Amino acid sequence: MTDEKLKLLREKIDQIDDHILELLNQRAGVVIEVGKTKEQSEQSFYVPSREKKIYQRLTEINPGPFPNDAVCKVFREIISASLNMEKPMQVAFLGPQSTFTHMAAMQQFGLSAQLVPMKSIPAIFEEVERGRAQYGVVPVENSTEGVVNHTLDMFIKSDLSVIAEIMLEISHNLLSKTGDIDRISKIVSHPQPLAQCRHWLETNMPDTPQLDVSSTAAAAQLAAEDDSVAAIAGQAAAVQYGLQIVKARIEDNPNNFTRFLVIGREQPVKSGEDKTSIMFSIKDEPGILYRMLEPFSKRRINLSKIESRPMKQKAWEYVFFLDMIGHCDDEDIAGAITELEPHCHFLKVLGSYPVAGKGEKNIEENN
């Protein structure tokens, strides 16, 4: 009786799967028409605000028991495949594969996009500027260790725009070929993960030398080649390079997120829940820092981040990076930027883009 019931239930699942497949192909047909319409009107094929609204609408109407997190992941891949049908999409990211930037790119663009690993942040900007990739994904700040200066510096000389942001929860593991902590004589990783695991390392392996390398994936590769080397990296790197987890989740701060930016050549439309990033250099005069913030304060604009970087061309002059909640086309934000501009040597709007959600659990852990 149990076998018969199981057979009937599986037949029902097959029927549902057939219906899902039929609906997916119906959706694909509409997507092809959307692509033709966009091409005729010269509209952007990739619209982050549209994707965000799709996820929001589906999670709001989802009655369960299929979880909302899984709904977003399923539809991310549907949307990724759909975009690839409209126009094949190349996305440059800070490689190699299995780095956290690779995870962020997959979270944003899905598996159907052509993800192209690059060796440096400047190379990502150049790839997009020259049109060899439509978009790039670069890290910009970590909740524990702060900003990625290389990314901010590139915006000073690049005309690319920020078109989206990605929040990714980061979890670090100590990995080795044998999984035996007693055989480890050296620990390697990118400087950021080493810093994010500083307390654990000082407490548990204070006498083990540490070595900086270009990425967590490069660290995992070194560990795969030498039994005495351990890498700090994510689970995807462990899978790719055949490593064992010596100790999981060794980051000092369990609430550890990295923010990534998607860069491109166009400006996305308003989503209704946006963030605007600008950069500017101010004139050196009395009271200038107060006047820099006053246009935003009196309009009650929420400034979510202020960062400064030295100008490499001139000593003791600085470029400020400022994030605010809202879109550059909003009356208050447009007015504040207009009021600020006369006090600046230069001012550039880097982009207005949809605010990212809290961020998924590290994708690696869910695979």
**Are residues 115 and 102 in contact, defined by beta-carbon separation less than 8 angstroms?**
yes
pLDDT of res. 4: 86
Q: Is 2 part of the annotated catalytic residue set? A: no
Q: CA nearest 198: which of 226, 230, 170, 232?
A: 232
How many residues are there in the chain?
A: 367
Can you tell me the distance from the alpha carbon of 90 to that of 45, in angstroms, rounded to the nearest whole number?
A: 12
Closest CA to 256 of 107, 145, 102, 99: 145
Measure the CA–CA gap between 110 and 268, rounded to whole angstroms: 19
Output the DSSP codes for 245-274: EEES---S-SS-EEEEEEEESS-PPP-SSE
Q: Which two tokens stand for residue 40?
A: 């005729």
DSSP letter for each residue of 140-160: EEETTTEE-HHHHHHHHH---
> Does residue 189 contact residue 257 with C-beta atoms inside 8 Å?
no
Cα–Cα distance measured from residue 200 to residue 61, given in angstroms and rounded to the nearest whole number: 43
Selected catalytic residue, list 93, 155, 260, 280: 260
Comparing CA positions, the residue from 168, 230, 170, 178 lying closest to residue 196 is 170
Q: What is the DSSP string of 98-135?
A: TSHHHHHHHHHH-SSSEEEEESSHHHHHHHHHTTSSSE
Active-site residue flag, 75: no
Determine contact, residues 337/320, Cβ cutoff 8 Å. no
Domains and CATH numbers, the chain: 2-84 (1.20.59.10), 89-170+257-265 (3.40.190.10), 173-241 (3.40.190.10), 274-354 (3.30.70.260)
- Residue-level pLDDT at 314: 65
DSSP of 332-350: HHHHHHHHHGGGEEEEEEE
Given a contact cutoff of 8 angstroms between Cβ atoms, the answer to whether 362 and 169 are in contact is yes
Q: Each residue of 175-230: pLDDT tens digit?
A: 999 999 999 999 999 898 999 999 999 999 999 999 999 889 889 999 999 999 99
Specify whether the CB–CB gap between 208 and 281 falls below 8 A: no
In this predicted model, what pLDDT tens digit does every residue of 319-339 receive, in sequence order?
A: 899 999 999 999 999 999 999
Handedness of CA 217, 221, 224, 230 (dihedral sign): negative
Q: What is the pLDDT of residue 365?
A: 33
Name the pTM for this structure.
0.82
Query: Side-chain half-sphere of 244: how many Cα atoms within 13 Å?
Result: 10
Tokens linked to 74 = 């399923």
Burial class, 27, CB count within 10 angstroms (exposed 0-12 / middle 13-18 / buried 19+): middle
C-alpha atoms less than 13 angstroms from C-alpha of 350 in its C-beta half-sphere = 25
User: Which residue stretches of the chain have pLDDT < 70?
Assistant: 1, 312-316, 358-367
Question: Cβ(296)–Cβ(355) under 8 Å?
Answer: no
Measured N-to-C along each axis, helices 331-340 and 288-297 cross at an angle, to the nearest 10 degrees, of: 170
Catalytic residue among 258, 280, 296, 321: 258
Please, where are the H alpha helices in the chain?
2-41, 48-61, 68-86, 100-109, 121-129, 149-157, 191-196, 198-204, 216-225, 235-241, 288-297, 331-340, 363-366
